Amino acid sequence: MASVSVRLCRDLLRNSARFSFKSPSCFPVGGAVSSAVLPLTPLRCLSESAPPPAPIRNSDEMKAGSGSAGVVRVATSDNSRSSLNEAELAKFAAISETWWDSKGPFKPLHLMNPTRVSFIRSMLCRHFRKDPCTKRPLEGLKIIDVGCGGGILSEPLARLGAYVTGIDALEKNINVARVHARFDSVTSSIEYICTTAEQLVRDKRKFDAVLSLEVIEHVSDPLDFVQSLSDLIAPGGATVISTINRSIRAYATAIVAAEYLLNWLPSGTHEWSKFLTPEELVLILERASISVKEMAGFVYDPLSGDWSLSNDTSVNFIAFGAKENAGAI
């Protein structure tokens, strides 16, 4: 699956001095692309419209327990970074009972799951030189699913043979994931922890593959978050990230249609300004020493109700990247 987007982004990176960068603050809905010529540093402004990180509490309150909304509190020094955005997390806390209701608010994730698992399996098998046709093609790989929710993605990865760690900032989600995983001897091996990527970096944990699907649009600062994901990747490792494009089409479909017309998701689930374009995601990953090797779109067929991989990244998209200088594909 040759990626036009990735090649385009590499060209953009090479010519970054001439690249007009779009940020939420300078590119509102329906607005015109900024004509200002910006160097790469304005990427930082992506996070400026986001609410500030959750306040750091004192260490007694914080130590790996849950806060008032069930949000993880992890011991940190005053100046350490936090990916937590309490307003975003509150949205997931309100629907945490519904993770495994395939007709509930997470229906789109359930429907997308076979397609995204297939993308992940094929990318990881190629990268780690494993046979995708075996019963357990991910055997032996240590994979972390950051922002795992109720474990919709973690479980099939465990069935494909990976050692899976699933983490989420919400204790409620981790409890749901643990209970659901217990029903099957394979998935009961998944290590579920209520924590954050940045805390696991401080704990010096490393994984062959770091996955974070549909999470980056809900964190406080995408650049810091991606740096933490990168820091969790073992030498020679890889990452997969999916999110929604900050396009007018995504505004019409992923927000207006999905949240207000079809009621697939609770209204207010997504903020358009927090979406990233594929080009922005590539740049953010490059800054964290990750080179994007493949990118694909997910498209929905309203007649069949199925999602499939496509070259169309205008709404939902997924990127596979390898840590630079740490082994090539």
Ligand X SMILES: C[S@@+](CC[C@H](N)C(=O)[O-])C[C@H]1O[C@@H](n2cnc3c(N)ncnc32)[C@H](O)[C@@H]1O
Q: What is the binding site for Mg ion (CB under 5 A)?
A: 214
Residue 131 annotated as lining a ligand binding site: no
Q: Which of residues 67, 105, 108, 149 is near ligand X by CB under 6 A?
A: 149
Task: Report which DSSP code applies to 255.
Answer: I
- Contact predicate 147/215, CB 8 Å: yes
Using alpha carbons only, what angle is made at residue 70 by residues 220 and 269, rounded to the nearest 5 degrees?
Answer: 50
Tokens of 253: 């479909």
**Judged by CB under 6 A, does residue 83 bind ligand X?**
yes
* 146 Cβ contact list (under 8 Å, min separation 6): 167, 197, 210, 211, 212, 215, 229, 232
Q: Which of residues 207-226 bind ligand X (CB under 6 A)?
A: 213-215, 218-219
* Residue with nearest beta carbon to Mg ion: 214
Provide the strand spans (E) within 104-232.
142-146, 163-168, 191-194, 207-213
Q: How far is CA 322 from CA 228, 232, 237, 256, 302, in A?
A: 15, 12, 6, 34, 34
Give the one entry of ligand X, Mg ion, none that residue 199 binds, where binding means its C-beta sits below a cut-off of 5 to 8 angstroms depending on kind: none
Coil, helix or strand for 168? Answer: strand
116 is in an annotated binding site: yes
SS3 for 261-299, per residue? HCCCCCCCCCCHHHCCCHHHHHHHHHHCCEEEEEEEEEE
* Min separation Cβ 83 and ligand X, Å: 3
Assess 56 for contact with ligand X (CB under 6 A).
no
**Does residue 145 have a known ligand-binding role?**
no
Any contact of residue 173 with ligand X (CB under 6 A)? Answer: yes
Of 22 and 274, nearer to ligand X (C-beta) is 274
CA dist list (Å): 212 to 39, 157, 263, 293, 308: 28, 13, 25, 16, 19
Among ligand X, Mg ion, none, the one that 108 touches (CB under a kind-dependent 5 to 8 A) is none
Distance of closest approach, residue 148 Cβ to ligand X, in angstroms: 6
Nearer to Mg ion, 105 or 321 (CB): 105
Cα angle, residue 310 at apex, residues 309 and 315 outer, rounded to 5°: 95
Q: How far is the CB of 122 from ligand X (least distance, A)?
A: 18
| 89 is an interface residue for ligand X by CB under 6 A | yes
Interatomic CA distance for residues 40 and 283, integer angstroms: 8
Residue 86 assigned to a binding site: no
Is 270 flagged in the annotation as binding?
no
> Residues 96-135: x/- map of binding to ligand X (CB under 6 A)?
-------------x--------------------------
Nearer to Mg ion, 217 or 231 (CB): 217
What are the CA-CA distances from residue 194 to residues 199, 210, 257 (Å)? Answer: 10, 16, 32
Q: State in angstroms the smallest separation of the CB of 216 from ligand X.
A: 9
The reply on whether position 250 binds ligand X by CB under 6 A is no
232 touches ligand X by CB under 6 A: no
CA nearest neighbour of 123 among 292, 306, 317: 292
Q: Which residue ranges make up the annotated binding site?
A: 116, 147, 168, 213-214, 217-218
The binding site for ligand X (CB under 6 A) comprises: 83-84, 88-89, 92, 109, 146-149, 152-153, 168-170, 173, 196, 213-215, 218-219
